[in-house]
Each structure stands twice: as C-alpha cells, then as structure tokens.
Structure 1
Amino acid sequence: MSIDFHDQDGVALITINRPEKSNALDHEHYEALSEAWRRVRDDDAIRVAVITGAGERSFCAGADLKSFVGAPPSLAALMHTQQGQLLNRGLEVWKPVVAAVNGHCLGGGMTLLLATDLRVCVPTATFGLTEVRRGVFPANGGTQRVAQQLPHAIAMEMLLLGDAFDADAASRWGLVNRVVPREELLPAAMAYARRLAANAPLAVQAAKELALRSRDADLATGLRMEQLFLRLLQDSQDVAEGTRAFAERRAPRFEGQ
C-alpha cells in the first residue's frame, strides 16, 4: 500500500499501489503522490515520468470517499493553496508525463489523466468523471481540462451525466494516443518515455510549457514568449550538440544544459 517510485536512465515510473482499494487515494496517498511529483519536477536527472496503477483492475478510482466524506478541510486549510500540490491540482511539471492506464480511470483518476501528456490504455480500460453521481463535481482540474481537451458536447456529457465510457470511445475522442494489449501496456508507455528522454530536455520542457500556457494567453503574447524561449535556448549546450550531431550524422547526446 504505497506510491512506488523508481527511476532509471532519466525515466521515473510512478505506480499507485493500492489495488485492494482500486488504487483510490486517501490523504496519505495523496501526500505521497504529491511528493513523487515534486521529485519529478526538481530532479534534473529525471526527464520523463510514467504514471500507472498496480494490478489489472484499476489505474486510479480517484479519491477514497470514505476518508473524505464528512471531513471537509478547515477554512484556514483552504487558504494553503500551494500545500500538497498535485500534477492535476496545479503543480507545474514541464517534463512530459506518460499515462499507462491499466483499468478503471474514474473520478480523480480521470482528472489525473487529463493532466498527463501522452496516454496509453488497455482495451478493457474504462473512463469517467462520475462525481456528480456522488453529490460533488470533478475538481483538481476536472471541470477545466476536460472542456479544453474535448469537444464541448462530449465534455458536457461527461461532466453532467457522469457516465463511464470505454477505451474505444476514449480513442475515438482523442483522449488516448494508443490502445494496446495488456501485456504491451507498460512497454508501450516506456517506449514513449525513452523516446522523450532522448530529446533535448530543455527544448521538450519549453515546448510543453509554451503549449500549456497558450491556453491562457493571446496569440501575440504566445508568439513573443516563443521568441524569448528560443533565444535562450540558442545559447544552450544542447543546441550546439544537436548541430554537431547532425553534421556528424550521429545521435545527439543531450545534457540539459
């Protein structure tokens, strides 16, 4: 019963390991997951993260309602806006995140998925923002990201009806990149991660940040930010290495500097 964290060759694998509870998250697991995301953000040796769930039943069923119902945070705690930050709650992680969805992806699991960048799932995966059926609504970015990432009518159906849907629908709507057999799930996610880790890390992180910030910026501001970021990167060692590698017809060895 834990949030497992393993990193190797620039790739961090985070596993929500609570299969007996469908990988639902209580206070303890939310805090451990928050620490895992901070580690990904702050460790320069980590270039990519992969998030998955333990077992074959569930990726993440969201919040463990038994630990939250009847125990709302104090008003003082509500003001601690940077405490216990999560990927889907606003923690800024510009390194790419790959989701390997091994089963049910519901409620808070779905809002977590919406905060990732590349997504692979098994054919039996199910998805849904089911909170309205329990008297609440999908927080931690649920109402925000789903309307940004999916067509309006589909997003409203998900938010307001709370129905679950299958992997075919997720693929058809562009919610996931690939649907693969179960035995290929983690290898497919890790293959994405290794390809991401091989690219220039500063450029990858800049591209992600610019793309996400474009949702809140006008075009002129976004174009200006591109110019500034590009000018900064032009003096980087990675740009020099990329140029040399191209001229020498070899794979570049980026250091993130």
Structure 2
Amino acid sequence: MSDPVLMESGGGIARITLNRPEARNALNAAMRDALARAIRAAEADGAVRVLVLRGAGPHGFCAGADIKEFTEVPSPTEFRQSRVHDSWIRPFDEARKPIIASIHGHCLGGGVEIALACDIRIASEDAVFALPETGLGVITGVGGSQRLPRVVGLGHALDMILTGERVPAARAQAMGLVSRLVAPDALAGATEELAARIAARPPMAVAFAKEAVRAAQDLPLREGMKLEVDLSTLLLNTEDRLEAARAFREKRPSRFTGR
C-alpha cells in the first residue's frame, strides 16, 4: 500500500502530495493524520520556506471525505468530541510559512476546506469546486462555513454552501476563491514559479507579512495597525533587511539567510 501523503523538498519548497489517486484523493483517517504530520515536518524544516499542496493523479485535487468511513453513525456526543479534538487541520492555522494549494480537477467538500486553509490558491482551468454537505443532511466540518465567507464574502459563501452547486474555475476566480488561474498543462510550472518567487524573499519578512494579513481577518483596524507596526519594528535590524538595503545600493541580487 502506498503512502497516503508524499513529501519531497528542494529549493526551499516542500511539495506535499495527497496520494490516493485511485480514490480521487478522498480523505480518510490515514490521509488526514499523514497530512498533519507533513505540514508540521515542513514547518519545522529550516531549509523549507514555502509549502505546496497538490493532488496526485489526473482526476483532481481532493474529492472530499471518503464515504467508506461513514458506515456507522456515531452518537452526537461521540461525534462532537471527535471533532473538538480532531487536530488534523490545525497545523495549517499554526504554520508561519506560506502554504500554496495547487488545484486541478475535482476539489469538493473537504478538499475545498483544505484549500481554504491554505494561504494562496492557484488552479487550473479544469478545476471544479463544490461544498455538497447540505445535500447529504450535514454541514461542513473543518472550517468551510467559517473560512469561505472570509475569502469570498457572505453572499458567495451562502450560495455555494446552501445549493451545493459545482463552481467552475473561472467563476471561482471571479469570486476570489482562487487568485490565479492557468491552463491545465501549465499548473505545475506556474505553481513552482510562484513558490520559488516567495521562497526567494526574506523568510522572516514573509512570515511576519503572513501573520499581519491573517490577523486582519479577526482584529479591529486599530489593533491590526498596531500589530503591523510592531512586526515592522522587529524586522528593522534583521540581517536580511540590512542585506536587502546593501544589495539595492550595490545593484546586485540579495543573498538572504533567514536571520
């Protein structure tokens, strides 16, 4: 049996692959646990500056939860306890390094929720998104109802969640669900280019910028502005900030070390 999640690193990029192509990368317990471990491992690796998450096989990024796991219905108490203590999605929220979702084909249910937990979403023109849970008598379970309105706005979020309608890539980009859209055969290269561009920047500045932007979703403006000033101040005397200034004066490429 192959590993449900693969990871390989190089050039400052950790490439994490959902690896159940025979099941359209549907999420089962083994994949959820392996995905959490992979995110944590990449976050702890000092050589990694950017994470890329993608799906194996031609059919899609992730088709959502594996329905084979839902043969027995737990009691409401057991279900709630399992969700309260289910930490597999938490590493996405805890990661200081940027996470890019590279999406092709089907991105459904839990696949959308994983993509929403990433920082940037780039998709191929054949991608299709949907949150079908209400049609199955349930609702999203790992942040879909909370993250989607923050990304696309209340109206688009309710439209997707209440209808379960499949959203083609062009519409997903128009509503802000994905920020970049490319031809299917260009997705891998465009993702690598995007990741490499971010990886080449000073990692502390990238991490602080991500922290400030993420905080803007929850903080009042005045508190967010204070956080931005505090983080900017912390960067003033970093070696990378000083190196960027020297490189600009000397008209040469910067050599960032992460310090």
Structure-2 residue corresponding to 1:4: 6
**Could you tell me which residue of structure 2 aligns to residue 125 of structure 1?**
127
Per-residue deviation, 1:209: 0.9
Structure 1 unmatched ranges of 5 or more: none
Task: Give me the whole-angstrom Cα distance separating, in 2, the residues matched to 1:113 and 1:79.
Answer: 22
Q: Which of 220, 223, 246 is the matching residue for 1:221?
A: 223
What is the match of residue 176 of structure 1? 178
**Closer, same or farther: CA 123–76 of 1 in aligned 2, 3 Å:** closer
Of 62, 84, 87 in structure 2, the residue corresponding to residue 84 of structure 1 is: 87
Q: How does 1:175-214 map to 2 (within 5 A)?
A: 175-214=177-216
Partner of 1:104: 106
Aligned residues: 256
* Corresponding residue SS for 1:175: coil
Q: Name 2:58's counterpart in structure 1.
A: 56
- 1:116 aligned to 2:118? yes
Deviations 1:126-156 (A, max 9, x none): 1011111122111211001111111322111
Q: 1:253 and 1:119 mapped to 2: Cα distance? A: 28
How big is the shift at 1:75?
A: 4.3
CA deviation profile, 1:209-234 (whole Å, cap 9, x unmatched)? 11111111111111111121111111
- Deviation string, structure 1 residues 36-68 (Cα, Å, up to 9, x no partner): 111122222110011110111110011112214
Distance 2:238 2:8 in 1: 29
The superposition leaves residues 160-190 of structure 1 with CA deviations (integer Å, 9 ceiling, x where unpaired) of: 1111111111121122122222221111001
Cα distance in 1 between the residues matched to 2:95 and 2:120: 14
Partner of 2:96: 94
Q: 1:123, CA displacement in angstroms?
A: 1.6
Structure 1 residue 70 corresponds to structure 2 residue 81:
no
Q: Is the 8 A contact 1:119 1:178 kept in 2?
A: yes
After superposition, the Cα gap between the structure-2 partners of 1:79 and 1:127, relative to the gap in structure 1 and judged at 3 Å, is closer
Aligned to 2:247: 245
Q: TM-score, normalised by structure 2?
A: 0.92
Partner SS for 1:120: strand
String of CA shifts for 1:79-135, please: whole Å, max 9, x gaps.
Answer: 795653325x76311211111112100000001111222222222211011111122
- How far apart, CA to CA, are the structure 1 residues paired with 2:164 and 2:225? 38
Contact 1:37/1:86 (<8 A) preserved: no
* 8 Å Cα contact 1:129/1:162 also seen in 2: yes
The aligned amino acid for 2:185 is E
Aligned partner letter, 1:49: L
TM-score (norm 1): 0.93
1:199 CA drift (Å): 0.6
Equivalent position SS for 1:238: helix
| Structure 2 unaligned spans of 5+ | none
User: Percent identity over the alignment?
Assistant: 38
d(CA) in 2 for partners of 1:85, 1:253: 35
Q: How many angstroms does 1:13 deviate by?
A: 0.5
Whether the 8 Å contact between 2:93 and 2:117 is mirrored in structure 1 is no
Separation in 1 of the partners of 2:45 and 2:73? Answer: 34
Q: Is this contact kept in 2: 1:40–1:93, CA < 8 A?
A: no
